[in-house]
Structure 1
Amino acid sequence: MNQQDQNIFAYVGTYNAGSEGIYLYTLDTSSGQFNPTGHSVNNQNASYLAIASDQQHLYSVSEGADGQVVSFRINKATLELTRMNAQSSQGNHPCHLSTNREGTFLFAVNYTGGSVCLYPILEDGSIGEMTDFIQHEGQGPRADRQQSPHPHSISIDPTNQWMLVPDLGLDTIFIYGLDVAQQKFIAHRQVKLHPAAGPRHLTFHPTASYVYVINELDSTITAFSWDVSQGELLALQTISTLPAEYTGNSTCADIHTSPCGRFLYGSNRGDDSIAVYQINATTGLLTLIEIVSTGGQTPRNFAVAPDGKFLLAANQDSDNIVIFEIDQETGRLRNLDLTVDIARPVCIKFLS
């Protein structure tokens, strides 16, 4: 498969009810058409994916009671995936993973297990045996959702020094350093959020020292300043993701900035929408622009195309992906009426 100038490619991870696992799609950057290539590979509950910086390997969780992290080789010519190996996550329901810039370490979190894992990535791109495992302890104020730790993501900062882990169960962001020689995490700092926030995912501003955390339980986003020299977060603002008149049940899921750094997007499950914000370049503060229906149910994940022209919303419970055009001046979303049917889509990752 020769990649044409107007096409970029993406892998879509799915839950396995009626689905194969991971699928390869192509996005036409002139029209927004998002089409299957016909290639898929089996992987049980591929609820989160990470692509190595060399674009030659993809890593997936296998979310279940006996959790695993799985490696795949990306064929340079066809972009098809070949399974390499898997390692146990030593915990229940791994839900997120990431790699460092050099592609030498893989980091993962177990949501139900309440733990954080570290693996070396071997020279061929396969995953080595786990070298560190940290069990979070404690509980939060909400008895129905916070009886135990629930780390929900692990993201490495742009300078490749720090791993940030929002723990939904503890209302805390754990900040870890990395001892490369010993292949171990270094516990650095814990940042508390407001009670019953339920921090889930975060995104780093592409050019400025800000971090934005989406809080699942109370449907808010918290903006932080980020001091990379100290590995320190300072809360600036917390803002709702829901319409003022909304009274139903809803939980937040995913969060991304636009590549230009001017806009921020966060998804609501229940209201089934994307909240769009303008980012103040000087202060990092957010101003709500609009809240737009995702055209489906339960947008667990979404992705902004690398060129910043399109946003693709993965609607888990309506079995579809809906494509939006991003207005380059205002950040607003326009539904292109381009809907892709796919069973249980829950993660979209673009090749760069």
Structure 2
Amino acid sequence: MKTLCLLAMVTAMTAASLEKAKGGEVIYVASIVEKTVTTFTVNPDTGELTKLSSLMLPASPGAMDLSPSGKYLYVAMAGRDAKTNQATAFVATLERQEDSTLLLSAVAKIATRPPYIRADDSGRYLMMAHYATGEINVYRIQDGIVTSEHLDYHKTEKTAHCVEMDPSGRFVYVPHTTPNAIYQYVLDAGTGKLIPNDPPVVSGPAEGHQYHQPRHIAFHPSLSMAFTSNERGGGISAYSLNRKTGTLKLKQTLSALPEGYSGGAAAADIRITPNGKFVYVSNRDLEDRDPQQDSIAAFSINRRGDLQRVGTYSTVWFPRSMTVNQSGRFLYAAGQKSGTLISYAIDTKTGALQPLKTYDVGDGTIWAMCVE
């Protein structure tokens, strides 16, 4: 009888836990050293994270993206061939279960490791930016599963860091750091091919500017604006977006570093709150010092798309990736060198950050993504 009661209690607790995860928000965190993607549930009221599961992958994970249907999580992976020791690259398709845990559905071999991947809005194409080789590739997604079917290739320049789409899903942008440029494309929805826009490239802030070299790009949810993190020097730029042609025009550039900061710094990720009021840039301290001076810069966005600094906040070591939850109340930053994830409360009136809690995830915490 006691055994039956205990079993009933465990079953009830498990069901309650699964029901809590089902329909709520979760954060997926990739650890490049541990070769895992860990799932955390998000408390919508407090931002508290609870570890739900951890999935071991066959190679080291990196960039992630969600299918438009929300059913699949795509994960870029890199490894070494056991026989030849040659670098290999793949994309894993992970199927999200009802409780938001993950199952490995398929692995597709690709050309080289991409630091950023993006599924198009139709869910038929996966676009990739390739940093080391300086190229962009497009692969077919068939019934939600990424395949090795290669659809398009563009040779650009080295340090292609990111590939993103505008809110319409018609235009594609690939920031490159070293050439200080953003490549602009039109997506052919019927074939998955990328057509160079006119002009095909827009320059970042002038090379003489302290804050240049666009790395990641994010689009405003309602204004005709895009924003980039500028890796060199640690900065942020605002671009106006021509919704008809899909072309960008540089409008404003600001520092994203703490006041009085000295030494080398490299901006990494950029995230906008769902209501479009605030934008955040993570900065990686490149100096060998203790304590490290990594930070997150917060900016407000007015109705014209102009930026104004809110503040700069200490964060985890080497914050390569960030994510904002769907309510826009919480921000999470992944420390690649600390192996941790830190949570912040966002002041919804000012955009200021209040640190909440730091979570151990695993060595090489490289990507974090909050989804429903």
State the TM-score, normalized to the length of structure 2: 0.86
Answering whether residue 320 of structure 2 is matched by residue 303 of structure 1, we say: no
Change (3 A) 1:335 1:132: same
The corresponding residue for 1:252 is: 267
C-alpha displacement at 1:114, in angstroms? 0.9
The corresponding residue for 1:141 is: none
Tell me, yes or no, if the aligned pair for 1:120 and 1:131 is still in contact at 8 Å. Answer: yes
**Equivalents in 2 of 1:63, 1:169: separation in Å?**
23
C-alpha displacement at 1:28, in angstroms? 0.9
Answering whether residue 358 of structure 2 is matched by residue 339 of structure 1, we say: yes
- Once the two structures are superposed, residues 185-220 of structure 1 have per-residue CA deviations (whole angstroms, 9 ceiling, x without a partner) of 111121011227221101000111100011111211
Tell me, yes or no, if the aligned pair for 2:301 and 2:307 is still in contact at 8 Å. Answer: yes
C-alpha displacement at 1:4, in angstroms? 5.1
Tell me, yes or no, if the aligned pair for 2:139 and 2:146 is still in contact at 8 Å. Answer: no
Percent identity (aligned): 28
Answering whether residue 210 of structure 2 is matched by residue 195 of structure 1, we say: no
The corresponding residue for 2:180 is: 171
The corresponding residue for 1:144 is: none
Q: Which amino acid aligns with 2:358?
A: T
**Equivalents in 2 of 1:292, 1:124: separation in Å?**
39
Which secondary structure does the structure 1 equivalent of 2:146 belong to? coil
Could you list the structure 1 runs, at least 4 aligned residues long, displaced by more than 6 angstroms after superposition: none
Answering whether residue 69 of structure 2 is matched by residue 54 of structure 1, we say: yes
The corresponding residue for 1:241 is: 256
Unaligned runs of 5+ in 2: 1-17, 80-86, 286-292
The corresponding residue for 2:244 is: 229
**Equivalents in 2 of 1:98, 1:220: separation in Å?**
24
Q: Which amino acid aligns with 1:85?
A: V
1:72-111 correspondence to structure 2 within 5 Å = 72-88=94-110, 90-91=111-112, 93-111=113-131
- Once the two structures are superposed, residues 107-134 of structure 1 have per-residue CA deviations (whole angstroms, 9 ceiling, x without a partner) of 0111111110001110252324111111
The corresponding residue for 2:305 is: 284
C-alpha displacement at 1:168, in angstroms? 1.2
Tell me, yes or no, if the aligned pair for 1:56 and 1:76 is still in contact at 8 Å. Answer: no
**Equivalents in 1 of 2:148, 2:98: separation in Å?**
23
C-alpha displacement at 1:95, in angstroms? 0.5
- Once the two structures are superposed, residues 258-281 of structure 1 have per-residue CA deviations (whole angstroms, 9 ceiling, x without a partner) of 111111100000031110111111
C-alpha displacement at 1:223, in angstroms? 0.3
Tell me, yes or no, if the aligned pair for 2:139 and 2:149 is still in contact at 8 Å. Answer: yes
The corresponding residue for 1:13 is: 30
C-alpha displacement at 1:323, in angstroms? 0.7
RMSD: 1.7
C-alpha displacement at 1:311, in angstroms? 0.5
Which secondary structure does the structure 1 equivalent of 2:40 belong to? strand
Tell me, yes or no, if the aligned pair for 1:222 and 1:238 is still in contact at 8 Å. Answer: yes
**Equivalents in 1 of 2:58, 2:20: separation in Å?**
25
Which secondary structure does the structure 1 equivalent of 2:142 belong to? coil
State which drifts further: 222-231 or 63-72.
Answer: 63-72
More helix by proportion, 1 or 2?
A: 2
Tell me, yes or no, if the aligned pair for 2:127 and 2:163 is still in contact at 8 Å. Answer: yes
Change (3 A) 1:124 1:49: closer
C-alpha displacement at 1:76, in angstroms? 3.1
**Equivalents in 2 of 1:183, 1:351: separation in Å?**
25
Q: Which amino acid aligns with 2:153?
A: F
Unaligned runs of 5+ in 1: 138-148
Which secondary structure does the structure 1 equivalent of 2:337 belong to? helix
**Equivalents in 1 of 2:318, 2:144: separation in Å?**
37
Tell me, yes or no, if the aligned pair for 1:154 and 1:165 is still in contact at 8 Å. Answer: yes
The corresponding residue for 1:23 is: 38
Answering whether residue 337 of structure 2 is matched by residue 317 of structure 1, we say: yes
